[in-house]
Amino acid sequence: MENNKMQTAVFAGGCFWCTEAVFQRLEGVIKVISGYTGGDIKNPAYREITTGRTGHAEAIMIEFDASLITFRELLDVFFVTHDPTTLNRQGADRGTQYRSAVFYTDEEQKNITEQVITDLNEQGVFEDPIVTEVTELGAFYNAEDYHQDYYNQNSSQGYCQFVINPKLKKLHSTFSDKLKKELQN
């Protein structure tokens, strides 16, 4: 039986530009796609998502090599690089499209996610309880091309400087051992 090392994880942690930039830098992450999931309409566009009325979250689909980084390790990065205790909000971004969510692809991911949330709450890692939604992945729609690889294409833009750079700094200081080799100091 062939051991399938390639797996998929889908996270929503506010603006997908932020989460995409974080996960692109991890060793074992092969591809990150910004998109929309968890909503009610087919083939939504960004202009519809921003209204908050479609039910979709801005999310990222991560393709990763589980022999290099585990789903649990991805979750560790996810919970450290956004605020999982604010309902439908990350910083100044407000609305259900910015909710914290893990969209699991199988029961193992669901169980691991629920256990991590329980552990973090019991350990009092955050001042408030975690409100991250844990939901089975449904349809995932790729965001428009201009949203893909956004930070790498627009790193001097104000939003990137003030919102994404601090997340990347935290990633580098907390998970330096998980960074792609070319990013390690």
Q: What are the residues facing 59 on neighbouring strands? A: 35
- HSE-up of residue 17 (Cα within 13 Å, Cβ side): 22
Which tokens hold the place of 156?
A: 């001097």
Write out 58-78 in H/E/C secondary structure: EEEEEEEECCCCCHHHHHHHH
Catalytic residues: 15
